[in-house]
Each structure stands twice: as C-alpha cells, then as structure tokens.
Amino acid sequence: MSRHSLALPDLEAARRFGAALAPVLAAGDVIALSGDLGAGKTTLARAVLAALGLDEEAPSPTFTIVQTYDAPPLRLPVWHVDLYRLETPEDAVELGLDEAAGDAALLIEWPERLGDLMPPDRLWLTLTPTVDGGRRLTVDAPGAWDKRLASLFPVAE
C-alpha cells in the first residue's frame, strides 16, 4: 500500500486529475470515490468519463445507482456507481458489479457500502473539503497500482 496526497483547489484541478487518471485506467479496475456528500466524488467521476471520451455531462447516478457507458464512444466500458442508497453489501450482488468488473472499469461512490465485498486491489480515493473551498485528495493504492501511480505522481513525495 502506498498513500499520496494532493490538493484539488478548484474544478479545473479536479478535471486535470481525472484527465491524468483516465489514460491509465483498464478494464477490471475498481476506483473507490470516498467522501461526504458534496465532497466532489461525482465531479471526479465526470472528469474521468470526459477524458475517456464522453461528450455530454455524465448524469449523477444518485437515483439510478448504476450508469453504464459503452466503448465506443468511451475508450473502455465504465460503470459509474453510487451506492449511497444501498442498504446491505449483499444488495450489490444484484447490481452485477462483480460481473461488470470483467470488462469494464468501475467508479464507485460511497464504496464503504460494499464492506468486505470491495476488492482489495482497488484504488481508493478520498476527497476532503479544505478551508479555502477546494478539496484534498488522498490516494490509497495497493502495490498492483505502483507502476501506474508513477505516471500520476511522477515526483516522489
């Protein structure tokens, strides 16, 4: 496990991080987007989706729970998931998340709801508001992400 931290002072910084993450994403990746309501989880997911080739603004999956995106037009299939309304981790099985992980990348808001069903090799992003109105992004990455992290964080911290 390694941990990185970076400031996302505004929407443009969030867009840039999403644009840096998108090219290294591959099918089977699970990206956890953690943080309170309003932390900026959907904003980051939108930035990734836009960088993968989505032309319109991605809707928030708050009500639908899952929004799926095909490739093409995206570079790879993506499931954008918001588990806020999930009552038990077992309910996630019905959503088919584990089958989706075969050929899609998963962007999961409220990943805590999955409990032990969250795969251990996920990239875990935590967003926290800062006093200046921006966000701090903490990235917790398993070893499997080491090489790809080098392109996200080229300068050792």
- Residues near ligand ADP, by CB under 6 A: 8, 10-11, 13-14, 35, 37-43, 109, 133-135
Cβ closest to Mg ion, residue 127 vs residue 141:
127
Which one, 27 or 140, has the nearer CB to ligand ADP? 140
According to CB under 5 A, which one of 34, 42, 67, 126 is a site residue for Mg ion?
Answer: 42
Cβ-in-10-Å burial (0-12, 13-18, 19+) of 154 comes to: exposed
| Nearest partner of 125 among 42, 12, 28, judged by Cα | 42
**CB closer to ligand ADP out of 14 and 49:** 14
Q: How many CA atoms are closer than 13 Å to the CA of 123, on its beta-carbon side?
A: 24
**113 is an interface residue for Mg ion by CB under 5 A:** no
**Least distance from ligand ADP to the Cβ atom of residue 36, Å:** 7
Q: Which residues bind Mg ion (CB under 5 A)?
A: 41-42
